[in-house]
Structure 1
């Protein structure tokens, strides 16, 4: 540990300026390509966020690692890493999006430009996702596939409208737990309301249970009912 502290930032594995030549090659940045047609901003963002956090480069997109003065010995390492992060972002998006954000001078600016392209108005986006959730129906999907679509939609909503948190630091009112339980109840209702008629009886079965099952347990119960029906 003492040795790493004496290393220059570019060669210190604990520094955000360090670039591991092997780490990048072990992560497929093109596994999820950001695209307007796919409207897949949230899964793309979560994946890139995880990659940048593990590689200690998150500060380049959230603005916490500001550009040093030109006279600083960190200026060149910062520029190199910032360019690398921009490259990572560029290769993980469609050509159409690349053309729209490629002129961004920093990774932080590029990250913000991408968010604006997909979320020009936050309230409108929340409305659109909530409306999509309300209209979701199982249709021809299996319970597995339908549940996946429902949870994906709620994951997207959680990105735009996260569960509020108590900021006092010493609160004993358990407000966070109560709000999370309320959100899960909404998710359970949405999942059950969209089931096909052949499985609608499970809504009554589940809602009469005491205590109510978690969302995942409700899904497993419905999946088992579907399996029983298909085996007859």
Structure 2
């Protein structure tokens, strides 16, 4: 699992948009190439530092660019998208107020599940969210 959840690849992920749509590599003969190499190494280090010990070996490769590293991480997560969605659905459906410390905590966890499910392509309608909220009171 990723230590830094906000960087998870998803359709609304700012880093994903930046790395995959605004990526430019200057020519090696360019004056900007050494500065680009430093920035690329910094971003690559940041990507690798957010991965768990289990995922790091699957993505680690010092000879690739930050963009390629990001694509490797994205593919790791997208390859298990279906099973991740199923697991999240189960946790979402089994969440109850009793399992939380307060009503605020319960509502926040429901919202977090909604966000996480959206990240793997599952849309939770507002009516379903309300029904789960009420069901969790039982």
TM-score (norm 1): 0.47
1:124-143 deviation line (CA, Å, top 9, x unaligned):
43333223322222224222
d(CA) in 2 for partners of 1:190 and 1:41? 27
d(CA) in 1 for partners of 2:22 and 2:7? 21
Which of residues 58, 66, 81 in structure 1 aligns to 2:39? 81
User: 8 Å contact 1:42–1:159 — kept in the other structure?
Assistant: no
Say if 2:63 is the partner of 1:100: no
User: 8 Å contact 2:3–2:52 — kept in the other structure?
Assistant: no
Match of 1:115 in 2: 74
User: 8 Å contact 1:63–1:108 — kept in the other structure?
Assistant: no
User: 8 Å contact 2:85–2:122 — kept in the other structure?
Assistant: no
Match of 1:149 in 2: 109
Match of 1:134 in 2: 93
d(CA) in 2 for partners of 1:40 and 1:62? 22
User: 8 Å contact 2:3–2:50 — kept in the other structure?
Assistant: no
Structure 1 runs not aligned, ≥5 long? 1-35, 164-181, 198-232
Change (3 A) 1:97 1:87: same
Structure 2 runs not aligned, ≥5 long? none
Number of aligned positions between the proteins: 133
Larger radius of gyration: 1
For residue 73 of structure 1, give the secondary structure of its aligned residue in structure 2. coil
Which of residues 33, 45, 69 in structure 1 aligns to 2:8? 45
Say if 2:133 is the partner of 1:191: yes
1 or 2 for the larger relative contact order (CA 8 Å, sep ≥6)?
A: 2
1:30-85 deviation line (CA, Å, top 9, x unaligned):
xxxxxx2xx66643438xx56x69xxxx63x2253132222333322222211110
Say if 2:23 is the partner of 1:72: no
Q: CA RMSD, aligned part only?
A: 3.0
